[in-house]
Structure formats: structure tokens, C-alpha cells
Amino acid sequence: MSADLLGRIAGASDLAALESERVHALGKQGAITQLLKSLGGMSPEQRQEEGPRIHGLRERVTSAIAERKAALEAEALERRLATETLDMTLPAEPRLQGSVHPVSQVMDELAEIFADLGFSVATGPEIEDDWHNFTALNIPESHPARAMHDTFYFPEDEGGERKMLLRTHTSPVQIRTMVKEKPPIYIIAPGRTYRSDSDATHTPMFHQVEGLVIDRGIHLGHLKWTLETFLKAFFERDDIVLRLRPSYFPFTEPSVEVDVGYSIEKGKRVIGGSEGWMEVLGSGMVHPKVIAACGLDPEEWQGFAFGCGIDRLAMLKYGMDDLRAFFDGDLRWLRHYGFSA
């Protein structure tokens, strides 16, 4: 009996077979369980003799099963290690390498330049409501500037109260920041903007970066210095010349449009010098009405804001001539103009 059981256990070829041997010996109907049950019907003398023998047998079988189990598990592990080895000498399969889109690259550059000037990056939703995109920016309903923006509106919901739209500029982030944060505020807000407009220099989706400073005693000189410092750093030239032209935006007073001087080098326009002028951004001193609409006291807080097309900046800096190529997703163009990560 003992030799037979131990032999079967030793011969179990895998864990499943071993499990059925365990049931065969120690299960409810198992051989050893039966022997243990038979002790009940024996005379005391017989039980004294058989008891230790049967218990001894159970111990030997139990430890034989544990030993066999450990051996089988070790074998399985060996087999796995043998088949799963990595061949470190195999050449790697070539993988497609992505690149950073020029627009993302410019956004990163802007964040870095402005971080050095103490600005942090703020964001806002691309699906905006009328109040943040227009009303709080001193563009009331019926203001002609609304028509100028070629806005993409969403269909009105049942109540028709909150008209939703795709933001037409990054200026609503000014409002969101002033409502949420206590001055002093020094932020830029780069992101996607939308207008129903399309030709070689306009796409329905484009990118802007907003700048906003709200502090005490801020004046136009701070705006001019900030823009000059930013543009010199961005175009990596010291001979950047700015021209501020009076302009009109409902949310700034006074408003100025900023041109950058360019010169012709090897038949191409390059930023720097003053042979000609190119408009790069709109800006001005934040209108007191806008500051008040955000719950701040315009007597205490003043500031400036600017909004600048990022795609334009990228085209000027990296010499690209068709804005639409930015969003075509043509891999050849992306490989040519993309930046390694």
C-alpha cells in the first residue's frame, strides 16, 4: 500500500496528475482517509497498533506530495526560463520616429521665454459661452465686433439662455483668470481659436497666444518693454524694431497694433531692421470696464493685454509660406519642419 501510493506520487508527470494522486490518497474517498475511518471499528488493542502506522503513512504521503509539487514547479520554471530568454544580439526593428509639430514647438518656446519674465501659463475651454468670449470683454450684444469675428455658434439649447460658441480668440482666458485669481496676474494663454474663414493665410482653426498683466501702476511702457523683450528672444535677434500704431479693440483702451520691422536678406524677408513693417499682434491697456466686469476695482488695478497669432509667428521664424500646410498632416512636410522631441 505505502510503496504503491508513494510510487504513484513520484510518477505524477505534471501538477494536474499530482493533484489527482492527492485526491486518490487523501481526498474524502481517498485510500488513507478510508484507513483512518476504519480505526473506529477496531478493538482498542488493534487501534493502538494500527493507529500510528496509518498516521505515519499519511505523513509520508503528505510530504511526498509536497516534495513532488516543489520539483514539478521548479521544472516548469526551468522550462519557461529556457524558452523565454531574450536574445540581446538581435538587431532592433526600425520604428517610426515622431516629431514635435512646429506649432507645439513655438508654444513651448513662448512658455519658456515668458517664464523667464515671471509669467505662468493659463488655459481655458475652446467651447466658450457668449459672456466670456464677448460680453465681459466689453463687446455687448449688437456690437459690430461680433460680426467681425465670423463666429461658429452651436445650435441654441431649449432655454436658449447660454449661447455656446467656439472661442474666436484667446481673450476669454483673460476673463477666466481675472474672475478666478487675485492680482497681481502675469499669464500667457496659448491655444486653439476658431473663425469661419479660409484662404492661404487663414484657416478656420488657428492658434493664438494671449498675454495678460494686472498689477498696480502698470502703463503702456511696461507693455512695450515686454513685447520687445519677447520678440527679441523669440526671433533670437537684437535688432528687432517695434512700431506701435493706434488701433481699436473694445476690451483695451488705448489699443495698439504692433508691427515688427523686417529687412531683406538674400532676397528673403527676415525679421529685424526696418526696411518694411509687418503686423504681428494686437494689444493695449485693459479697459476699466473689463476689469470691473471681473469683479476687480479698476481704480486699484491696471494692466495690459496682447493677442498674437502663433501660426504667423512660426511661419515668420521658420520660413514657411502656406498656413494650410500646418494642418494638412502631410508626413513629408512634418518630417521636414518637425522638431525632434
Q: Which residues bind ligand PHE (CB under 6 A)?
A: 169, 171, 249, 252, 282-284, 305-307
Q: How many residues does the chain have?
A: 341
Give min distance, CB of 283 to ligand PHE, in A.
5
Q: What are the grid coordinates assigned to 174, written together? A: 483673460
Using Cβ positions, the residue closest to ligand PHE within the complex turns out to be: 307
Q: What's the min distance (Å) between Cβ of 262 and ligand PHE?
A: 21
Q: In the bound complex, what is the minimum distance in angstroms from residue 290's beta carbon to ligand PHE?
A: 10
- Smallest separation, CB 102 to ligand PHE (Å): 21
Torsional sign, CA 297, 138, 222, 116:
positive
Residue (272 or 307) nearer to ligand PHE, CB:
307
CB of 104 to ligand PHE, least distance (A): 21
CA max distance for the chain? 122
Q: Which is nearer to ligand PHE, 102 or 284 (CB)?
A: 284
Answer yes or no: is 181 a known binding residue: no
Q: Are 65 and 22 in contact (CB under 8 A)?
A: yes
For residues 190 and 284, which CB has a smaller minimum distance to ligand PHE in the complex? 284
CA atoms within 13 A on the CB side of 55: 7
Beta bridge partners of 286: 252
Which of 68, 151 has the CB closer to ligand PHE?
151
The DSSP symbol for 181 reads S
Please say which residue, 22 or 169, places its beta carbon nearer to ligand PHE: 169
Are the C-beta atoms of residues 243 and 254 closer than 8 Å to each other?
no
φ, ψ for residue 174 (rounded to 5)? -55, -50
Q: Are 316 and 196 in contact (CB under 8 A)?
A: no
Q: Show binding-site residues.
A: 253
Q: Show binding-site residues for Mg(2+).
A: 253
